[in-house]
Every structure is written in structure tokens, then in C-alpha cells.
Structure 1
Amino acid sequence: MSTSDAAVAAKEARERFLKRLEEKVPASPMAEEDEHEQEQEQEQEHGTRLQEFAYLSETCGLPTDCLADAVLDDSSRDALRQLAAQYEAEPDLPQQTLP
């Protein structure tokens, strides 16, 4: 996977994340300060997830399109973390391939 592919996949994952977030969070009257603080926290969390996305993609050898949505989902992230831990413990394991 090239760096540009990972960047494009990360951008697409970010857009999907923000769209899902908008759908889940109902519009409510918030003070601008609270809204700004919440946006910063979301951006920070998303940045952390993107870093994890890149790490899992490299470690497990899974395609970025397969990982993008999974990194946004907590249960999938846990499973991917376990898979990454296996690859770190046993570097001779074959890379994952999709049928």
C-alpha cells in the first residue's frame, strides 16, 4: 500500500466518520465554547483512530478499504488490535488476503 493510497483512504474514512457523527448527534442549542471543545475532542479521537488505522494496515497487511470502516467501529478495532498483537508476536505469520 502506498502512502498516497493510505492518505486517500484516511481522508475518506474521516469523511464517513464525520457524516456518521452528524447523523448520530442531534442538533441542540450549545454554547459556542462547548461546541468548539467537543469538535476538538472529536478531531483528536479521529486522529488517534487514523494513526491506529495506519498501524493496523501496515502490521496486518490488510487493504485500507477493508480497515477504514472497521477502525471506526469499537468492536472491530478490538479484533484488529488482537490481530495486530498476533503479528507482532509472530512476525512470520502470512499477511491477510481477502478472497
Structure 2
Amino acid sequence: MNKKYEFYTLQQIYYFLLECPNFLNTGEFNKIQAFLAECHDGDISSFKFTPPFKFTGQFGDKKEISIQLAPEFSNRDNFLRWSESILN
């Protein structure tokens, strides 16, 4: 199976965000939101949050991602494994 979101690609996005100024000072929700925004394939206006746990947008074949079971962003390995599983 050919994955749209390979682990190494998600890892690059993760490290890119860590280099953004003040990124580590933002809350958990904002970190996850920024990560998923980078994974979103469409225009930023089509990337939206629907409370309490869903992001809608274009993520390969998926249009909706739930973050209800997302691990902490700071737990890199768990977060990247989780993101790979929900995006593919």
C-alpha cells in the first residue's frame, strides 16, 4: 500500500514546527492544529475546526480527522505514530 503520509514526511513536518518561533510556547491544541494544517492539501480557508474534536479539510483521501485520542505533541514518537495512523 502506498501511503500519502509517510512517517519520515510527518517527522519533517514535526521538526519544522519545532523550529518556528514561539511554537513551544503555544498550547497543545494549537500545536496539533498547526501540524494538521501543514498536512492539509487544500486552501487554508477549507481547513476548519469543528468542536469538540474534529478538523475538516483535505488529508489525502480523508476529509475529517478526530483529535480526541491524540497523544501529547511533546511525546514525539507516540504523536507521529498516531498521526501516521489517522492520516493514512
TM over 0.5: no
TM-score (norm 2): 0.34
Report the structure, 1 or 2, having the larger strand content.
2
Kindly name which structure, 1 or 2, has the bigger radius of gyration based on alpha carbons: 1
TM-score (norm 1): 0.32
Report the structure, 1 or 2, having the larger helix content.
1
Q: Which has the higher contact order (CA 8 A, sep 6+)?
A: 1
